Structure 1
Amino acid sequence: MGWIPENWDVGRISDYTSKIGSGSTPRGGSQIYVSSGVPFIRSQNVLNNSLLLDTDSLIPRGIHEMMKNTFVKPGDVLLNITGASIGRSCVVPKDFVEGNVNQHVCIVRTVKEKLNNHFLQIFLSSYSGQKSILTMQVGGNREGLNHSGVGSIKIPIPSLKEQKTIAQCLSTWDTAITKLGNLIKVKKKRKKGLMQQLLTGKKRLPGFDGEWEEVSLSNIAKRVTEKKYGAK
């Protein structure tokens, strides 16, 4: 694990969890999806640090009840264990009601008195966690992670109080980064609109007036060349 404080422990994820397991796809696949039903969580719904639910993959309640081993609960850590998105993880929100996962998503349910779920998710998304996931992959193309592999991943364990404090600190940073990203998107959109107005003359800057003249580029440029294909 590298250098860690002396009063921290090191253990396997399975030592601090009550459930490690994935689901399955019901017979019929996407053909059984309904317009009103129970969320069926797939790997594309598990993003980095967030769960994106949609209405494109809802299953009938009857099928949901038949798949009790794949029930998802608020606070569960979801980890993608196959495909290109392997290693992506998130914590199921507190306001989540019910749902199931398919075979590409692993449910990791922590023992709350031992391991904070947000701390676990942060570790899984860290450099050390991602390196462990890469090492534990199985199969010829090494694009799969089984339940025993997930459980055998080693994790540093500070006190529960310190786990929560670390998770809260990094969560604050995530929130700030998200807000900054949204602000940047808004600013870019506003700039694009302003460019359109300024470059068409619909909006004029202070101190400028009069009509614009439309000309061909060849009439105002000294030279216009076209690069031929393959030319250096």
Structure 2
Amino acid sequence: MTPEIEKRIKAVRAGRVPAGYKRTKVGIVPKDWGEVRFHDMFSRVVRKNKEGNTNVLTISAQYGLINQNEFFNKTVASDDKSNYYLMKKGEFAYNKSYSNGYPFGALKRLDFYDKGIVSPLYICFAASENNQCPDFYVHYFEAGLMNKEIQAFAQEGARNHGLLNISVDDFFNSNLLNPPLSEQKKIAEILATQDRVIELKEKLIAEKQNQKKYLSQILLTGKKRVGDYKDPWEYSALSNYLTIKDVRQIPNDEAPLMAFIAGIGVSPKGERYDRSFLVKNDKKEYKRTDLNDFIYSSNNLDVGSIGLNSYGSASISVVYEIFSVNSNAVPVVLSSIIQLPENLNYALRFRQGAIYGQYRIYAEDFLSMKIKIPSLPEQKAIADVLSAADEEILLMQKDLEQEKLKKKSLMQLLLTGLVRVNE
């Protein structure tokens, strides 16, 4: 980046207008950039689902408009979908619900399907004939450059039910930046190229994760042995490797209140899982867990609420069963073997309770379960192989995050005109 560009960026961020720039309602932008109303570039789509389309879409941060079943593994739409808006490929939708990363809702284009339907709570729109580079606005919306406009007319009080109260008229009267068409196309192509880099790296990571999954399967079942180990694996009760841990305490700085999330493990509660405001007793005790403890939830074991604590000291709900791993087992290997499908299915046989969602698998029953497990030296050798694969994936993920940060930086510089494509 040249000293001249750095000086310009510093001036704009300080609220000063550098040479060749002007102040607009949207911000300080190049003099040859236009400022238009949303309705000048887009027209509303109010096409009702009269054809009985069942491809119900939702907005995802990563995938944009995607089928609800693919994203949630279920459909949360009403039975009667005739009132839903029917969208065609290339059209856009605005979801007024605020969410993590989208404080003023998300605007996404339909790219993956020829047609789909969305809730009538969405605002749908299509590029007008005079908008000759809608690709530019795909990135413009992704960068959150509409947030300031939406914030100006959104009624904050409506947030109590998670939906911003935004009128259609206000939305279509909002302001948009409109660079010269040639510059829009160049910006869109630069950002699309960066998207392709990100997509390629995501595919490589997915391939590597599948390879690791296959490697885990053959190593953790003994189908492939590491090194020169040839001793047969023995069936042994989990009680030989796990010890029940039931330490109660009030959450503190050393062991804060956390959630145990399926497929993730011990993690900060976040908005979705935080129910602490419902607890009136600030002296309530929770179970303490520490690094490499093994944890499971009786109710949600079959959907992944089981595994190691890889976070550290924390306090979690008393509904979880917690175990410390004995010194004759490698935690990550033991945990992975327990979570093999055949072992999880066997563990589910111990469920007790007549009402779905209120099942209980007693710790004593769980510990009676027998698993096939190698000797401690072979466990360590397996752990080394899998750890090397994890390290490779971690490095690839860090590289991917750098590319995403690069895309974010490019959007902030190019889509606001702080850096011109011909510089």
Hey, what's the Cα distance between the residues in 1 that align with 2:91 and 2:241? 65
Distance 1:159 1:228, change over 3 A: same
- Other structure's SS at 1:211 match: coil
- Give the gaps of 5 or more residues in structure 1: 27-36
The yes-or-no answer on 1:47 pairing with 2:71 is: no
Aligned equivalent of 1:182, options 179, 191, 203: 203
Counterpart AA for 1:92: L
User: What does residue 113 of structure 1 align with?
Assistant: 130
Count of matched residue pairs = 211
Q: Map residues 80-119 of structure 1 onto 2, 5 A cutoff.
A: 80-82=95-97, 84=99, 87-93=105-111, 96=114, 101-114=118-131, 116-119=133-136
The one-character-per-residue Cα deviations of 1:156-183 (angstroms, maximum 9, x if unpaired) are 1111122122223222322332332233
User: What does residue 229 of structure 1 align with?
Assistant: 248
Q: Would you say the 8 A contact 1:77–1:107 is kept in 2?
A: yes
The yes-or-no answer on 1:192 pairing with 2:245 is: no
Distance 1:95 1:128, change over 3 A: closer
Hey, what's the Cα distance between the residues in 2 that align with 1:51 and 1:135? 26
Distance 1:145 1:39, change over 3 A: farther
Q: Would you say the 8 A contact 1:38–1:99 is kept in 2?
A: no
How far is the alpha carbon of 1:73 from its aligned partner? 4.1
Hey, what's the Cα distance between the residues in 1 that align with 2:167 and 2:54? 20
Counterpart AA for 1:87: G
Deviates more, 1:208-217 or 1:192-201: 208-217
Counterpart AA for 1:89: L
Hey, what's the Cα distance between the residues in 2 that align with 1:220 and 1:106? 56
User: What does residue 30 of structure 1 align with?
Assistant: none
How far is the alpha carbon of 1:137 from its aligned partner? 1.9
Counterpart AA for 1:167: A
How far is the alpha carbon of 1:122 from its aligned partner? 1.9
How far is the alpha carbon of 1:119 from its aligned partner? 1.8
The one-character-per-residue Cα deviations of 1:107-157 (angstroms, maximum 9, x if unpaired) are 222323345222223212213223433443236324232212222322211
Q: Would you say the 8 A contact 2:47–2:87 is kept in 1?
A: no
Distance 1:124 1:213, change over 3 A: closer
Hey, what's the Cα distance between the residues in 1 that align with 2:66 and 2:108? 10
- Other structure's SS at 2:204 match: helix
How far is the alpha carbon of 1:187 from its aligned partner? 1.9
Counterpart AA for 1:211: D
Distance 1:52 1:38, change over 3 A: farther
Distance 1:134 1:185, change over 3 A: farther
Hey, what's the Cα distance between the residues in 1 that align with 2:189 and 2:38? 21
Hey, what's the Cα distance between the residues in 1 that align with 2:178 and 2:218? 56
TM-score (norm: length of structure 2): 0.41
Q: Would you say the 8 A contact 2:54–2:117 is kept in 1?
A: yes
Counterpart AA for 1:189: N
How far is the alpha carbon of 1:101 from its aligned partner? 4.5
Q: Map residues 76-225 of structure 1 onto 2, 5 A cutoff.
A: 76-82=91-97, 84=99, 87-93=105-111, 96=114, 101-114=118-131, 116-138=133-155, 140-142=157-159, 143-205=164-226, 207-212=227-232, 214=234
The one-character-per-residue Cα deviations of 1:26-83 (angstroms, maximum 9, x if unpaired) are 9xxxxxxxxxx543676x43334633247967999xx68xx9xx55344322222346
Between the two structures, name the one with larger relative contact order (CA 8 Å, sep ≥ 6). 1
Hey, what's the Cα distance between the residues in 2 that align with 1:197 and 1:50? 36
Hey, what's the Cα distance between the residues in 1 that align with 2:246 and 2:86? 60
Hey, what's the Cα distance between the residues in 2 that align with 1:210 and 1:216? 22
TM-score (norm: length of structure 1): 0.67
% identical equivalent positions: 22
Q: Would you say the 8 A contact 2:89–2:111 is kept in 1?
A: yes
The one-character-per-residue Cα deviations of 1:180-200 (angstroms, maximum 9, x if unpaired) are 223323322321331232244
